[in-house]
Amino acid sequence: MEAEGLDWLLVPLHQLVSWGAAAAMVFGGVVPYVPQYRDIRRTQNADGFSTYVCLVLLVANILRILFWFGRRFESPLLWQSAIMILTMLLMLKLCTEVRVANELNARRRSFADFDPHHFWQWSSFWDYVQCVLAFTGVAGYITYLSIDSTLFVETLGFLAVLTEAMLGVPQLYRNHRHQSTEGMSIKMVLMWTSGDAFKTAYFLLKGAPLQFSVCGLLQVLVDLAILGQAYAFARHPQKPALHAVHPAGTKAL
């Protein structure tokens, strides 16, 4: 009887928590990029951020949206993908503008060159947009033709989450190659880690397709590896080369 008497409070409270969790899923994924975006705007230096992170997330979320047409999942995850795509395009726009402004004498490169050696290193933001639209068109057409195949749909979902799970790999590789995390926002990686942990728990509790939970676990492991790099490189910083100039403005928060 007492439990029934509290229904007037527990039911709306449960609904409020559900709405809050859904909102966190939709918008939480873009929050880690706010400090990195601000750092790049403030320093006018995008060297510390790998734009291949944007490529990975664009591909992953486009594939996830296509997967939704074959196997419906919760709407917050669908909206999360749409918002993430817009966010990555904004990051690409800023990084491209900053890089071009800092490389005045560099040769202009475009998507239409079809040069694999300079893929994803173009001089105009619209070249990236063309590439994204081309990929979306081809992937969408293939999905339209194969939407009735369960094997194709499940494979598409697996590719989507596997690609997303590799999100931090470009940043991990860049840090390893330079033996430094200078220019990378530690706040961004900490938010990646907390967000991926929350997302994985959300997938498990909501009974999302298995691919989503596997993706979340892999992402958390990669995030922890990047944090490990930051700790290791901070304890054993690389000795600067003679006559090298390290602008203070490029340091991450």
Looking only at Cα atoms, what is the longest distance across the chain?
78
SS3 letters across 119-182 = CCCCCCHHHHHHHHHHHHHHHHHHHHHHCCCHHHHHHHHHHHHHHHHCCCHHHHHHHHHHCCCC
Give SS3 for 148: coil
Report for 26-30, 131-135, 160-164, 218-222: range of highest mean pLDDT = 131-135
Distance CA 228, CA 242 (A): 28
pLDDT tens-place string over residues 20-49: 767 777 787 788 888 889 989 999 988 878
pLDDT-based confidence at 113, cuts 50/70/90? confident
Report for 109-113, 121-125, 190-194: range of highest mean pLDDT = 121-125
pLDDT tens-place string over residues 135-161: 999 999 999 999 999 999 989 988 888
Give 108's DSSP letter.
P
pLDDT of residue 253: 30
pLDDT-based confidence at 98, cuts 50/70/90? very high
SS3 letters across the chain = CHHHHCHHHHHHHHHHHHHHHHHHHHHHCCCCHHHHHHHHHHHCCCCCCCCHHHHHHHHHHHHHHHHHHHCCCCHHHHHHHHHHHHHHHHHHHHHHHHHHHHCCCCCCCCHHHCCHHHCCCCCCHHHHHHHHHHHHHHHHHHHHHHCCCHHHHHHHHHHHHHHHHCCCHHHHHHHHHHCCCCCCCHHHHHHHHHHHHHHHHHHHHHCCCHHHHHHHHHHHHHHHHHHHHHHHHHHCCCCCCCCCCCCHHHCCC
Distance CA 60, CA 161 (A): 7
For residue 167, what are the CA distances in angstroms to 136, 161, 221? 19, 10, 11
pLDDT of residue 241: 45
pLDDT of residue 134: 96
The pair of structure tokens assigned to 139 is 């992937």
Q: Can you give the residue ranges of every domain in the chain? A: 49-250
Closest by CA position to 25, among listed 93, 72, 94, 79: 79
pLDDT tens-place string over residues 45-95: 888 788 888 998 999 999 999 999 998 877 888 898 999 999 999 999 999
Decide if pLDDT at 249 tops 70.
no
